Amino acid sequence: MRNAGLLMIVGAALFLGLFFLPLWNIRLIAPQYPEGLGMYIYIDGLKGVSKNDISNINMLNHYIGMKHLPKAEDMWEFRVFPLVVGIMAAIGILIGILGMMKKVKPSVFLIWLIIMGILGILGVYDFNQWLVEYGSDLDPSASIKLMDESGKAMTYKPPLIGYQKMLNFDVYSLPSTGGYIMGTGFLLVFLAYLVGIKATKRAKATLVYMIPIFLGSSLLFSCAPKIEPMRYGEDECDACRMKIISRTHAAQLVSKKGKNYKFDATECMIRFMEREVKEEDMLHILSANYLDAGVLIDATKATFIISENIPSPMGAFLSTLKTREEAEKLLEEHGGELFTWEEVKHQLDKPLKTSHEAESDQTNEEPTD
């Protein structure tokens, strides 16, 4: 029980890190804020990622009728959560000490873990309810009022976890350092329980089978394939090594194993897939929507236009549209030809040129009689 008690102490003590480390992070990226705006969510309040982020977010909220972000004294959660975390961590450490002294059974470790898990679920539920209220309780006298397709006033609830497009903002909501520390604490307490019961024959079987399953699940969750934000002006194209600049032509691949590849143009991505990877190994094949800069859409379901009046970074004059209707309207304005995903892959059978090279070729081309 000594090792089990030690694991219990360390696991419970990790929850004290929530007093110093942010639990969650919400980040907003838009053309007018290329560096992004963000806030860290602690158990006792909110803090901007950068100095002026909170005030800038509040300014944006004012225009669309959203409330200002709450201060610590405005929400009871910011007073109660630190008490709950502190008390539960102290109880967990005490249980671990008693476990090392063989004064408690491993089942007590599990009881603590279940209670802490229930409290965590309630905290996530409360956080989501706050997001719903925050994004839907709008001031009717706001300067900007937007309607959805059904004619109802739009709401602006950020995602609980993951990515969401809100107006021209890319919004990401993900666990921060404290969230991963808390997850590690849960894992160590569960291992403490398993180590504590390993003396029995049945427990040995549980230990053999449950640890790989639990660790595998945790690893799978932490390494799950996901779409990464495009850092325009910083990321390099994995095909041509040029800086990714264009928000209307960038592309990204995400493999089933979690590997991300970024490209400055869809034509670069297609060429890369011909040489380096197999399409069937990809979980996401994404291209920027030409009509919604910065938004990546499923390229395999998109419609493509090749028009010499719409340059693309690598000279294929290739742009991606979410729907065929949008592509046909763009075709009427600029001319060109439409393609499906399968068709455009076969169309790009010539060496690619940069936009500069393509324009140079057109300039040097002599007229024919």
Are 41 and 142 within one domain? yes
Measured in whole angstroms, how far is the alpha carbon of residue 185 from the centre of its chain?
A: 23
* pLDDT tens track for 191-246: 888 888 775 445 555 555 566 655 555 554 455 567 888 888 889 999 888 999 99
Beta-carbon contacts of residue 59 (< 8 Å; ≥ 6 apart): none
Cα(89)–Cα(241) distance, integer angstroms: 49
Confirm whether 246 is domain-assigned.
no
Are 27 and 158 within one domain? yes
Are 201 and 261 within one domain? no
Share of the chain above pLDDT 70, in %: 82
Token pair belonging to 33: 């804020």
pLDDT at 218: 54
Are 189 and 258 within one domain? no
Max CA separation in the chain (angstroms): 100
pLDDT at 204: 54
Question: How many domains does the structure of the chain reveal?
Answer: 2
Confirm whether 14 is domain-assigned.
yes
Confirm whether 181 is domain-assigned.
yes
In the block, residue with structure tokens 């706001």: 142
Are 291 and 165 within one domain? no
pLDDT at 306: 93
pLDDT at 293: 85
Confirm whether 113 is domain-assigned.
yes
Are 216 and 284 within one domain? no
Parent domain of 323: 251-361
Token pair belonging to 29: 């990226």
Are 198 and 261 within one domain? no
Confirm whether 59 is domain-assigned.
yes
Are 302 and 196 within one domain? no
Phi, psi (rounded to 5 degrees) for 84: -60, -50
Are 213 and 269 within one domain? no
The low-confidence residues of the chain, meaning pLDDT below 70, are: 1, 142-155, 199-225, 349-369
**Beta 33-42 vs 24-30: how paired, if at all?**
antiparallel
Are 168 and 292 within one domain? no
The structure's pTM equals 0.53
Beta-carbon contacts of residue 339 (< 8 Å; ≥ 6 apart): 303, 304, 305, 306, 347
Confirm whether 205 is domain-assigned.
yes
Are 28 and 144 within one domain? yes
Are 263 and 195 within one domain? no
Confirm whether 235 is domain-assigned.
no
Phi, psi (rounded to 5 degrees) for 321: -125, 145
pLDDT at 159: 79
Cα(183)–Cα(202) distance, integer angstroms: 27
Confirm whether 266 is domain-assigned.
yes
